[in-house]
Structure 1
Amino acid sequence: MCGAEGELYAGGRCWSCALATTVDRLLANPTTGSISTELVPFADALKAMKRANSGLTWIRQKHVTQFLQELAMAPAVTHEAVDALPSSRTREFVRGLLIEHGVLPQRDLYRARYDLWSRDVLDRLTDPVNRDVVRRYIRWQHQRRMNQMDQVPQGTFLRSKQTVTVAIDLLNWLTDHGIELGELEQEHLDAWQATGPSTRLVADRFLGWAIKTRLVRPDLKIQRHRRGTSPRMSAVDQEQAVQRVVHTDELAPRDRAAAILVLVFGQQIEGVVGLTWDDVKVTKDLVTVRVGAIEIALPDPLDGPWRRLARNPGSERTAAHPNSNWVFRGYSPGRHIDASHLRNRLRQVFSTRAARLGTLHELTKLAPVAILAEALGYHPSTIERHAVDSAAAYSRYVAAVRGD
C-alpha cells in the first residue's frame, strides 16, 4: 500500500504510483538501467501530473510507449536527436514537453518544421534541373526571409509551403510537356493555369522570383489575387452572432472570449491567440484586455466569458501546461492554440474573416482612422481602406435615396 487516500488503481497502489512506475520503466536506458540525467526533469513532470489517470492512459498507448523507449536510448537529448526519431504527432508533442520542462532549449517551431518539410518536398520534382531551381528558391526566397524574423508565424509557414507546392506543380507540368523553364511562354502559363485549381494563382510569387533571377523572360504574368472582394458580415448578422456568443453556451468559454475580440473589436485571430494573462486584467468591477496600444474595457455581458476563462483556464492538470501564461492554451505543450484551429472552432457560429471585415467597416463610421488604427493595432492604411469602402457604401445609399 502506498498510503495515499485517493482512489486506488491496482495492487494497493494509487494512480500516481502506477504512473511513476510506468515512467521509470519506459524512460530507463536499457544499457544503464536508469533514467539519464538529461531526462530526469521530464520524468519528474510526468510523474507530477495532477490527473495521473489521464497521464497513465496516454503513456500506455502503443505509439507513445514505443517513442519514449526510443527516446530513452538516445545517446544525447537534443533537437537533432529527436529529429532523427520517426516523424509523428507524438514526436512533436513530446518535444514540446521536453522544451516546456527545460530539457531542450526553445526553438522556432515553424522554422524548424519548414526546414524539415523542405528537405523532403524536393523529391516531388521529376526533373533534377528543376529540383535545383526549387532548392535555390526555398533557400534564397523563403528561408532567408524567415532568418530575418524573430519568430516565424504559422501564416508565413503555411504560405511558404503553399507557394513552393504550387511552383513544383508548375515545373512538373512543364516537364510533362517537354518544356524547360527557360523556354516558358505566356501561352504555357495560360494553359497550365486554366486546367487547374484557383490556388495556381499563387504561382505569381515563384514567377516573380524566377523573373528577378533571370530564369524566365520578364514579360510573363499570372493573374494576381484580387483584394477587397472578400465577403463581409452585415451589421445585423454581427449583432446576432454577438448575442449567440454572449448569451448561449454554444461555444466553450475560451472560444466565446476569442469571438468577442473578433466580433466587437475586429481583431485578427493570429493576434488573439498570442494574448497572455499579462494582457488581461480581471477585477471585481471590470475586465480589460490589451489589444493594439490600449486596454479595452469589456462591459457586462461581454466580460462573462472572460471571467469564466480566468477562473478555469484549462490544461493545468497535465504536464503540457503546468504554469502556462497563454490565455488560449493549445494542444502542443507550452504553446498557444493554433490560429487555424481556433478559426475552425469559431466557424460553427461565424466566419472570422467576414466578421472582422464587417466590424472594421462599421467602426470606421464611428472614429477617425488614426485613432482606430492605434487602438486596434492596425496599420493606418488598412483602416483607411475600410473607411473609403464604408464611405463609398454610404454615398451609394444617399444616391439611392435621392433617386427615389
Structure 2
Amino acid sequence: MYGHATDGTGLCQSCYAKNPVSWDDCHRCGAHERLHGHGLCHTCAAADQITQLLTGPDGAVRAELAPLLAALQASAPKAVLAWLRRSTPRALLACLAHDTGPITHEYLDQLPHHQRAVQHVRSTLVAAGALERRDEYLISLERSLAKALAEVEDPGDRKLIRSFATWHHLRRLRQNPSNTYGQIHRARRDIRAATQLLSWLRESGTSLATCTQSDIDRWVCEGPWLRHIARTFLLWAVAHRHAHNVEIPLPAREDETNGIGQRRRWELVRRLFHDEDIDLADRVAGLLVLLFAQRLSHITSLTVDHVTHERGVVSLALGSHPLEMPPPLDRLILRLLDERKGLAVVGQIDDHPWLFPGAFAARPITSKQLMHRLHRLGIYVKPARNTALLDLAS
C-alpha cells in the first residue's frame, strides 16, 4: 500500500493500473469521493493508519497518546496520508506507541528520529494543549551552544565562549517572550565566529589576551569576509577586558539606499491588490512591505489582536498606535482574519493568534519562509523597504 503511488491513492503504480480509482462510496462511512484505497475514503484511511501506528503491544493506544491521536485524526486527511508515506514519521509514531511513560518535552528531545518529524509531533501536542508552549528557537540555540562548547578543546577558550553566549545573547533572549528565527540565527553565527577566532589565535601562537591589532588584521584579511562577524565577540571581549586595544572594522557595505523603481513598486502593489491567484497571506505581507516598509520579523509576529475593525475602519497596530489601512488592503486583512490557514502538515488548528501561521501547528511563519514566498512573487524585501521608506519620508 505504501509503494510508488504518485496520486495519493495509496496504491503502487502497478496496482493502480489494474484497479483505477474513481469516485465511489466509502465502504465504512459512505462518503462519496475519490477513494484512497481498499474501498476507504481519505478520512477513514488516515484514521486507520494513525490508529494502527499508535497502537501498543497490548492492542490499545495508551492514554498519554490520546491527545496526539485526536489531533492527528482531526488534521487534513490527505496531508496526513502524505506525511505517513515517509518512513521517519511512521517509525516515530511506532516508537511512541511502544514506549511507556508520559510524553514530555524532555522525552521528545532525546528521541533519535529526524528532528523535523519530532517537531511536527511536538507542535501538534502543544496545539492540542497536551504540552506546554516553550520557545523552540531558544531551546535550539542552547542545544547548539552545548554542542559547540563540547568541541572546544582549550578550557580557557571554552569559558570565554560560554560567558559571551550567556551574558551577551542568552540573557537578552531569555527575557524575550517571542524570539524570532533571525535573532537565534545571529546569535548562533556570533558564537561560531567567536569559536573560530579563538581557535585561529591559538594556532597562530597567541591568545585573545595577548593578541595585537596586526593579529586581528591578519585574521580578517586571510579569511573570507564572513570573518567580520567576529566583531561582535571582539567588542564584548574588549569591553570586559578579555582583550585590549583591538577591533574588527565594519566591512564595506553595499549602498543602503538601493531600492526598486517607483514604477516597479506600484506594478507589484497593483498585482497584489487584484491577483486572486496569489495566496492571500502573501498578498497582505507583500503590501505591508511595499506600502509601509515593514520588516519581515515584525510581520511574522502580528496577531489577530493587532487588527481592529470599528465603524467600518480597519486599523493595524504596526507601531505604538494603530494605523488606518487604505482600501483595498483593509478588505484583504479582514479576509485574512477569516481565511488564514497554517501550513502545518499535521495538527493544524484554527484557534491560534497568529495572523500569518506557519509550517508547524500553532506557530507563526518564520521570516525566512516568508522571504522565500515573497521572492517567488518578485518582491525582494530590502530594496522594496528602502523605496517605501524614501516614499514615506518624502
Measured against the shorter chain, the TM-score band is 0.7 to 0.9
Residue-by-residue CA offset, 1:170-198 (whole Å, 9 max, x unaligned): 12212322222322111110011112232
Residue 54 of structure 1, CA deviation: 2.4
Secondary structure of 1:289's counterpart equals: strand
Question: TM-score w.r.t. structure 2 length?
Answer: 0.82
Q: Are positions 1:223 and 2:252 aligned together?
A: no
Matched residue of 1:181: which SS? coil
Of 261, 265, 270 in structure 1, the residue corresponding to residue 297 of structure 2 is 270
- For 2:349, the equivalent position in structure 1 comes to 321
Equivalent residues of 1:167, 1:206 under 8 A apart? yes
1:2-401 aligned at under 5 Å gives the runs: 2-7=28-33, 8-30=35-57, 32-49=58-75, 51-72=76-97, 73-86=99-112, 87-217=114-244, 219-224=245-250, 229-233=255-259, 234-248=261-275, 251-280=278-307, 287-303=314-330, 305-306=332-333, 309-310=336-337, 312-315=339-342, 319-348=347-376, 349-365=378-394
Query: What is the CA-CA distance between 1:272 and the residue it aligns to?
Result: 1.1
Alignment deviations for residues 118-167 of structure 1 (CA, whole Å, 9 cap, x no partner): 11122443544323321232223222222222232322211101101111
Counterparts in 2 of 1:296 and 1:146: CA distance versus 1, 3 Å: closer
Between stretches 1-10 and 311-320, larger displacement belongs to: 311-320
Maintained 8 Å contact 2:342/2:357: yes
Q: Secondary structure at the match of 2:316?
A: strand
3-state DSSP of counterpart to 2:209: helix
Distance in structure 2 (CA, Å) of the matches to 1:54 and 1:240: 35
Letter in 2 for 1:325: P
- Given that 2:294 and 2:385 are in contact with CA atoms closer than 8 Å, whether structure 1 keeps it comes out as yes
Deviates more, 1:34-43 or 1:68-77: 68-77
Cα pair 1:126 1:175 within 8 Å, conserved: no
2:256 partner amino acid: S
* 8 Å contact kept, 1:232–1:355: no
Q: Name the SS for the 1:267 alignment partner.
A: coil
CA distance in 2, matches of 1:114, 1:11: 46
Q: CA 1:16–1:125 in structure 2 vs 1: closer, same or farther (change >3 Å)?
A: same
CA distance in 1 between counterparts of 2:135 and 2:381 reads 27
Q: Secondary structure at the match of 1:38?
A: helix
Structure 1 residues 299 and 221: CA distance shift in structure 2, 3 A: closer
Q: CA deviation at 1:235?
A: 3.5
SS in 2 for 1:296: strand
What is the letter of the counterpart of residue 81 of structure 1? Y
* Deviation (angstroms), 1:226: 6.8
Give, in whole Å, the separation in 1 of the partners of 2:175 and 2:234. Answer: 22
Which range moved further: 57-66 or 5-14? Answer: 5-14
Moved more, 238-247 or 171-180: 238-247
Paired with 1:339 and 1:74, the residues of 2 have a C-alpha distance of 38
Within 1, Cα distance between the matches of 2:78 and 2:279? 24
Aligned partners of 2:315, 2:196: CA distance in 1, in Å?
Answer: 48
Specify the SS of the correspondent of 1:182: coil
The AA in structure 2 aligned to 1:337 is I
Q: Give the partner amino acid of 2:323.
A: I
Displacement of 1:247 after TM fit?
Answer: 3.9
CA contact (8 A) 1:286 1:299 kept: no
What displacement does 1:263 show? 1.0
Shift in CA distance, 232/246, structure 1 to aligned 2, threshold 3 Å: farther
Show the counterpart of 2:10.
none
> Could you tell me the percent identity over the aligned residues?
29
Q: Deviations over 1:295-339 (max 9, x none)?
A: 434344434644554453234995223433322111011111101
Quickly say closer, same or farther: Cα 1:17–1:350, change in 2 above 3 A: closer
CA distance in 2, matches of 1:149, 1:314: 26
| Uncovered stretches (5+) of structure 1, i.e. residues with no partner | 366-404
Contact in 2 for aligned 1:273/1:336 (Cα 8 Å): yes
Answer whether contact 2:341 2:350 (CA < 8 A) is retained. Answer: no
